[in-house]
Amino acid sequence: MYRIACPLSLCLAVAACAPAPGDCIGRTGRELRTVESLIAETEARLDRGYAYESRGGGTVDLCLGGRHHAVGINLCTDRLGRGRPVAIDRSAEERKLAALREQRGILLRRAAVCPAG
């Protein structure tokens, strides 16, 4: 009895630790969406020729008169979240894009072999 129960319990323990089929598809799908987003951002940078450096938090502007305002202080935030344009290293961005496309291919192949859940 012991010879049968021990291997059987070991097999059940290993099977219980195996990920569910839906986990493979879900995890791969999340990774694929992230890589797709990074590819789109990198392609946009290459098309534009520059990237946006995000500014941390808000800014304070001192206004010394104008057509609609007198002297005053404005507390401003970058509502678009873009920041200021900065130059990119085109060859580094192209290498990054190639690596991301390779990663996307790996993820697509992984998704194809995920067990149906």
pLDDT at 16: 47
Residues in the chain: 117
Structural domain boundaries in the chain: 21-49+89-117, 52-87
pLDDT tens digit string along 53-83?
Answer: 876 655 555 555 555 655 555 555 555 555 7
**In the structure, how many helices (H) and strands (E) does the chain have?**
3, 4
Predicted local confidence at residue 3, as pLDDT: 58
Tens digit of each residue's pLDDT (9 = 90 or more) over 12-53: 444 445 555 568 888 898 999 999 999 999 999 999 999 988
Spatial CA neighbour of 100 closest among 52, 46, 54:
46
